[in-house]
Structure 1
Amino acid sequence: MKTSLATAFLDLSEGRDSLDRHFPDRSTVRTIVDETGSVLDGEAVVVVKPYDARLGPTERSATLLVNADLRNKYEQIHAVVDRARGELASALKKQSGSRATEREVSKTFANHDDRFVEAILTVYDEVVAREDSQFAQVPHNVIFEPRVVALLENPEFRNALSDYVDRYDELLEASQYFHRGRFSYYDAEQVAKNLRGHGFFDAKHSLRLNGADSHELTTAHEFEEVVAREKQAITDDPELRRKFMGIEKQLTTNASVREFWAYVSANRWLIPELGDLAALSRELWLSYLKATQDAMTDLVAHYRAAQDQLSHIKGVAANEGKLWQRVIEIFNQRFYVPFKLEVTNQLDVVLGLADLPNLAFTFIEGEHEAPVARDELVTALSQGERRALYILNVLFEVEARKQAGMPTLFVIDDIADSFDYRNKYAIVRYLEEIHRVRHFRQIILTHNFDFLRTLASRFVGYGQCHMVSRTGNSIALVAPHSIRNPFLGWKRDFFTDETARAACIPFIRNLIEYMRGPKDADYLVLTSVLHWKPDSTRITQAALDDIFRRLFGITGAWTEEGSVLDSVLSTAGDCAAKRGNASLAEKIVLSLGIRLAAERHMVHVLNDNDLWAELATKKNQTARLFQAYAAQATVSPDAMRVLEDVLLMTPENIHLNSFMYEPILDMSEDHLRTLFRSVVTLGL
């Protein structure tokens, strides 16, 4: 029943209709309202199952933790940086002709495909310090087209290219004015351009070049003519031209290669650079960045300013993330498990950049620790430890809703089932904390009477405790009796109430067993009241009174004489004749009557006093009698089925202690009444 109720709330929370899962064709009506008659909002309902291996922190709980103001500021900062980044990327694309500028810059300067800003920061100072370069005009997409790169990496082509470069270097070394690696004709052209632009010769300055036929140059035109003649002397060198033709022979008719060679033919100064493509690529991108320096500087400035702002936001978010730390601390401190954990993406969750928290687990064994993945961890945990891990996910949901101030009804379905006691009481403590949150409500469902007693003793008022009874087609909520200590009331009424008197018998017997042992005379007398033994009918009410008085040191007496067994069976008959809910005492008396009537019937059918006397001295008398009974050829199948039900039910119901409330309370009074009548019908 409790799971069906929890499932109805789960359907509400997940926005689906409820149905009878066994009879789906039945018409189903679900109405869930609060104390004011208002329909409950599914968003305000959380159902906590006994265990759900698939449950983890939900997107809903993570969303509740997002700080909207921080997220907006975070997004605004990144929007400014992203805009500057886009402008630089666009400028580089226009300058270089490359379509993948960000990836190429990242690979060139950060050795990674996606670290554009990091790459820019790495070379920023170098770019600012350098001069403009002719490389800025070289189209990257022409030189580094894949088929061109394949050609440049071809060994035969590289040999031809190497021959050309060697001859070119020789000519530079032999030049009057140019020097390899120090002063090329491009450098000379740039000097001439700058001198003309700055009015050097107009100011009546002159220039003397260091060379064999050095003379004074007094005009820009003279200087430019000298540079042009020296350049032509190199490019028109017959041997260099032959080697250039040797390179051309290696070319294919591919359109991309033809475009490449057309460009190189017009810019032969680039040929020596083709021998080292990595160095050439670096030089090209540095030159492109220099040509787009304004956009680059804008990006760097915005990025550096953003870091200070983001640092502040992260500090605030870290405080927001204390909720996660609280959940982790609650779990690590209160629950006994062989691992500890932490959230690794706390900032991303608070800023709304990640949907779910990532949990890192560390397995602990003595002084040794080892990081472990969640799936691997789960396979190494016991069932109870897995349940404890499940509780962690419940904590996330609860704490997120607590921080958000979100009114919530938690439907707790036997969450403490199958836990060891340390973890069970950790759960009780946490449920008590939920109880103290003003905007939280709880419906706690359990079939564990010990758990019910614990909750009632901690924070659930008696008026808020209910027991559910199903009779026929109706379900009733009844006030529980004797939650904290039922024996106090039974003990008080021992001499006046027949039901309480009978219900006390197994309790008294347990106490004597604990105090004096199973060979004590009083223990044996009470055993003969709980089992049909040769002396059972001779035990009187006065004898029972005497045992009770001596055990508790009190006075009193039952007003009627007679056999205790007759009284127990008669009282059980009265309980079986009642309708409606049965109290715990009545269920115990029914259980006593069922077993006594069953053993009486089996002893009568066996009709073997020697066997009876022998079995009466052994443990598990009911089971031993049944084995002998089942061996009889005259036993009917109907009688066997009834007695098998007796064996399944009575031991746990009669031998009572704080752990044994659950079986009898979970058993329907209708079943007990029907079974008692069936056993009695078997006769003597």
Structure 2
Amino acid sequence: MNKLEIELSNCFGIDSLNYKFSFEKGRTFSIYARNGLMKTSFAKTFQLIQKGKSSDISDAIFGNQGSAIVKIDGQDISKKQVFVIKSYENSYEADISSLLIRGDVQTQLKDVFKIRTKLLKSLEKDSGLKIKKTYLGKSVYELEPAIVEDFGFAEKDILSNLDELASYEPEIECGNIKYSEIFDDTVLKKIMDTKFQEGIYDFVSASNEIYDSFDYLEKGNLTLPKLKDLKKALFKDAFFSKDNKIILSGQQPISSVDALEQHINEIEAKIQQMPAYKAIENLLSDSKGMTLKDIIEVNPEIIEYLAVDKLIDLKKSLWGSYIKKNNILFGELRDKYNSLSHEIDNLEIDSTPWKEALDIFEQRFSVPFTMKVVNLKGAIIGESMPQVQFSFTKGDVVKAVDRSELDKLDTLSQGEKRALYLLNIIFDIEQIKSTGEEVILIIDDIADSFDYKNKYAIIEYLYELAQESNIYMLIMTHNFDFYRTVAGRLSVARENRLVAECSDNNLKLKKEFYQDKPFKNWKNKPTDKYIFALLPFVRNLIEFGVDRNISNTESDYLFLTSLLHEKDDSMGITFGDIEPLFQQYAGVNQFGESVEKSATVLSKLSLVCDNITTEDTKLENKIVLSIGIRHEAEKYMFQQIGNYTGQLRWTKNKQDNVGGSTEFIEFVHESNNQTRQLFNGFRQFGNDEEIKILNEVNIMTPEHIHINSFMYEPILDMDIVELHRLYQTVRNLR
């Protein structure tokens, strides 16, 4: 596999996305996409491709038909070439049957299944029942469950009951009768009717008399209803023109419809003299009833088995007769299965691929339970889905529950539920690995809501998958820390590290600009914009390290804080003043020639912000806009509060205070959260629209201009369009 090309439109939340993934540099891509941008829609689209339901792809909200053109090396992708791993699916369970056996047993099992299918197809033809049919829009198995139910077998499949079927001797031979023509709901209702149960013997006796009286009739072939149909056909086709004639056995030639009608009238007159025959004939007058009537007339030996208490014996006799008709095929199936069954009975679960997959999980992930399959044989032969039992231990007490009971008890944490989901994913992936076929894994936020231990266990498993030659991965996440860690641990090529962006409803995947930490690039080329972007970083280095007071002020930390908040000294700080701090604390190179060192820092802030457009999606632009937004908001609130002549309320040291604007502003300068306290004062008198705008500042910017363990992840998630809009809105307040 060399290339994956996608052209998506109206794919749920994706209006448009075109991209070519080249696997020339590696089989793994890491994709960072903020929440709500693409991940779920992308995964859902490919999941429908995986299920063979591409026609269901659409814009679910607006009802537009979707289109997903996906090609691998120029050929349309097949559903076997993709496997989607969503963030979490509560009811997801893998089919682990094939993991329970190794190759040699699996080969024998395939032979057994092949013969079983041949036998079931023969039984389908003989019985009239379908192996599988559609009922209320769902596929349901019909034939095999009917056999199991009719014989009352405990094991719910034909393979487990071959010996019992072989030993059964049908009470009557009736292999020429279709099961479906008797045990149809409509027909059974007629059979159960009192008139039928009480009059069936008299009906057969009368029937014999009629056929004896009119020897041109034949049971099951030329009956009275069929003779009437013949008359209608001959009349419709003008058969008797040109002196054409028909001859009924033992009768004179018939040369007209009227003459044929006379014979029919004679038969009906005879029936009128036989109430027992007439009553049953009326009961069986529809098409299904006439079929039953023909069966009875041709096979009168089944009459005693149509009694209510003998119907079950008739069912068994029908199946027994069909099996006798297919005795060679049945015998071959029985011999092969008995040989295989012995091997399954001696199977060591610890040597199966299932146990190997379970070991992968248990060695890496922390969960409070152990697991085992309790219906090994039934699961292998397909009698039932594998039933996994979960065992919990407290001291010397072990409590075992099945999956449904575990879900009902709802005792697992969200992380443990996700771990269980991940286990099922591992089962499926191990099956994919074993096939050797090339498959693309679409992975959507797989580490979401895991603790760090399990999160890194996931990364380690992804690393192992990346070593598999048949596995290709598109790993999507909204967690920038996880994105960076995956890219590093899996050695994802530079070209394969992508960031999702949206412009004018068109989604784009772009190569990540900062392959390493962004500070490295900013430090080496300190322009005005990069200096603003580095401000929070340098200030936090001082906060978490040793404040050396290079600025010869109260503290270097507070000195730089004056550039992130409106302080009395904010407008007097120059680029030359802060250059030594950047060099000493962060190892920044000497400021570039483009930096006017005598200029005040904040005098340049609005110029830099004003030149940022919605196309400038790099991290430094988001940080600078966030700083600009905060300054514009604080300047406006200081101005409005300073002009306010009323009383303001605030809380200091758990004490409620009331005073004028001067006292309030003094309190603000002393507080640890200047922007928030300014807002608390402004909201006491500002109009609703301005309060709404300034509250948005509080929501969008607090965490953006402080570094944290996720390296500015909150601001990376923020759309540049939103920050640009808010900056313009706040500026317009002045």
TM-score normalised to the size of structure 1?
0.62
Specify the SS of the correspondent of 2:732.
helix
Shift of 1:658: 2.9
Query: Paired residue for 1:444?
Result: 475
Check whether the contact 2:523–2:587 (CA below 8 A) recurs between aligned residues: no
Give the Cα separation in 1 of the matches to 2:528 and 2:689: 32
| Aligned match for 1:370, one of 399, 404, 409 | 399
Q: Does 1:499 align with 2:495?
A: no
One-letter amino acid of the structure 2 residue matched with residue 654 of structure 1: I
Check whether the contact 1:57–1:357 (CA below 8 A) recurs between aligned residues: no
1:526 and 1:354, CA in 2 relative to 1: closer, same or farther beyond 3 A?
Answer: farther
Give the Cα separation in 2 of the matches to 1:561 and 1:78: 89
Check whether the contact 2:97–2:380 (CA below 8 A) recurs between aligned residues: no
One-letter amino acid of the structure 2 residue matched with residue 616 of structure 1: H
Query: Paired residue for 1:473?
Result: 505
1:27-62 CA distances to partner (integer Å, 9 max, x unpaired)?
43221122x221111232221111110101138977
One-letter amino acid of the structure 1 residue matched with residue 530 of structure 2: A
| Aligned match for 1:51, one of 82, 85, 88 | 88
Q: Does 1:647 align with 2:698?
A: yes
Specify the SS of the correspondent of 2:516.
coil
Check whether the contact 1:593–1:676 (CA below 8 A) recurs between aligned residues: yes
Give the Cα separation in 1 of the matches to 2:108 and 2:485: 43
List aligned pairs for 1:102-181, cutoff 5 A. Answer: none
Give the Cα separation in 2 of the matches to 1:33 and 1:514: 51
Shift of 1:437: 1.7
1:539 and 1:43, CA in 2 relative to 1: closer, same or farther beyond 3 A?
Answer: same
Specify the SS of the correspondent of 2:84.
strand
Give the Cα separation in 2 of the matches to 1:409 and 1:322: 25
Shift of 1:664: 1.4
1:473-501 CA distances to partner (integer Å, 9 max, x unpaired)?
3222211122431122222223xx12211
Query: Paired residue for 2:61?
Result: 22
Check whether the contact 1:74–1:313 (CA below 8 A) recurs between aligned residues: no
Query: Paired residue for 1:11?
Result: 48
Structure 1 spans left out of the alignment, 5+ residues? 80-102, 108-113, 122-301
Shift of 1:571: 1.7
Check whether the contact 1:530–1:596 (CA below 8 A) recurs between aligned residues: yes
Indicate the percent of aligned positions where both proteins have the same amino acid.
33
Query: Paired residue for 2:369?
Result: 339
Check whether the contact 2:102–2:352 (CA below 8 A) recurs between aligned residues: no
1:312 and 1:590, CA in 2 relative to 1: closer, same or farther beyond 3 A?
Answer: same
Check whether the contact 1:428–1:455 (CA below 8 A) recurs between aligned residues: yes
| Aligned match for 2:710, one of 650, 659, 674 | 659
Give the Cα separation in 2 of the matches to 1:536 and 1:457: 40
Shift of 1:564: 1.8
TM-score normalised to the size of structure 2?
0.58
Check whether the contact 1:59–1:355 (CA below 8 A) recurs between aligned residues: no
Give the Cα separation in 2 of the matches to 1:468 and 1:22: 22
Number of aligned pairs? 470
Root mean square deviation, CA, Å: 3.9
Query: Paired residue for 1:615?
Result: 668
Specify the SS of the correspondent of 1:594.
helix
List aligned pairs for 1:391-410, cutoff 5 A. Answer: 391-410=422-441
Check whether the contact 2:344–2:377 (CA below 8 A) recurs between aligned residues: no
List aligned pairs for 1:524-539, cutoff 5 A. Answer: 524-539=558-573
Query: Paired residue for 1:280?
Result: none
Query: Paired residue for 1:511?
Result: 541
Check whether the contact 2:440–2:472 (CA below 8 A) recurs between aligned residues: yes
1:500-550 CA distances to partner (integer Å, 9 max, x unpaired)?
111111111111111148998111112221111222222221221122223
| Aligned match for 2:722, one of 640, 658, 671 | 671
Shift of 1:570: 2.5
Check whether the contact 1:335–1:423 (CA below 8 A) recurs between aligned residues: yes
1:681 and 1:30, CA in 2 relative to 1: closer, same or farther beyond 3 A?
Answer: same
Shift of 1:457: 0.4
Give the Cα separation in 2 of the matches to 1:339 and 1:396: 17
Specify the SS of the correspondent of 1:658.
coil
Shift of 1:601: 0.8
Structure 2 spans left out of the alignment, 5+ residues? 1-37, 118-149, 155-159, 168-332, 643-660
Q: Which moved more, 1:379-388 or 1:431-440?
A: 431-440
| Aligned match for 2:615, one of 569, 577, 580 | 580
Name the one with the larger strand percent: 2
Give the Cα separation in 2 of the matches to 1:104 and 1:532: 87
One-letter amino acid of the structure 2 residue matched with residue 595 of structure 1: R
Query: Paired residue for 2:465?
Result: 434
1:21 and 1:321, CA in 2 relative to 1: closer, same or farther beyond 3 A?
Answer: farther
One-letter amino acid of the structure 1 residue matched with residue 585 of structure 2: L
Q: Does 1:383 align with 2:414?
A: yes
Check whether the contact 1:407–1:440 (CA below 8 A) recurs between aligned residues: yes
1:110-141 CA distances to partner (integer Å, 9 max, x unpaired)?
xxxx99979x99xxxxxxxxxxxxxxxxxxxx
1:627 and 1:396, CA in 2 relative to 1: closer, same or farther beyond 3 A?
Answer: same
